[in-house]
Amino acid sequence: MLQVIQETTQQQQQKNKNMKTIILTAFVLSSLMTFAQTEEEKENDTTRINLGETEVLIINTKKGKVVIDANTTPADTVDASPDKEDDEDDPDHDGRWAGIDFGVTMLMNSAFQASFPNDPIWENDPAKSFYWNINIMDHRFNIYKNYVGITTGFGINWTQIGIKNDYLLFEKSSTSDSLYYAVDSTTHYSKNKLRATYLQIPLMLEFNTNEDQDKAFYLAAGVIGGVRVGSAIIQKIDRDNFDNKQKTKGTYALNPFKVDATLRMGYGNWGVFANYALMPLFDTDRTSEVYPLTFGLSMNF
Contact in structure between 140 and 106 (CB atoms under 8 Å): no
Which residues fall within 8 angstroms of residue 261, CB to CB, at 6 or more apart? Answer: 221, 222, 223, 275, 276, 278
Rounded CA gap, 57 and 67, in Å?
6
Query: For residue 145, which of 86, 50, 210 has the smallest C-alpha distance?
Result: 210
Q: What is the pLDDT of residues 133-176, one digit of tens each?
A: 999 999 999 999 889 999 999 999 999 999 999 999 988 654 45
Whole-angstrom Cα distance, residue 262 to residue 259? 10
Q: How many CA atoms lie within 13 A of 193 on its CB side?
A: 19
Neighbours of 93 (CB within 10 A): 20
DSSP reduced 3-state for 285: coil
Q: Where are the domains of the chain?
A: 44-84, 99-300
Is 80 exceeded by the pLDDT of residue 199?
A: yes
Q: For residues 223 and 177, what is the distance between their CA atoms, to the nearest angstrom? A: 32
Say if residue 2's pLDDT is above 50. no
- Give the end-to-end CA distance of the chain in Å, rounded to a whole number: 108
* Cα 270 from Cα 277, distance rounded (Å): 23
- Dihedral sign computed on CA atoms, order 58, 60, 66, 68: negative
Mean pLDDT of the chain: 80
Q: Is the pLDDT of residue 52 over 60?
A: no
Q: What's the whole-number mean pLDDT along residues 10-23? A: 60
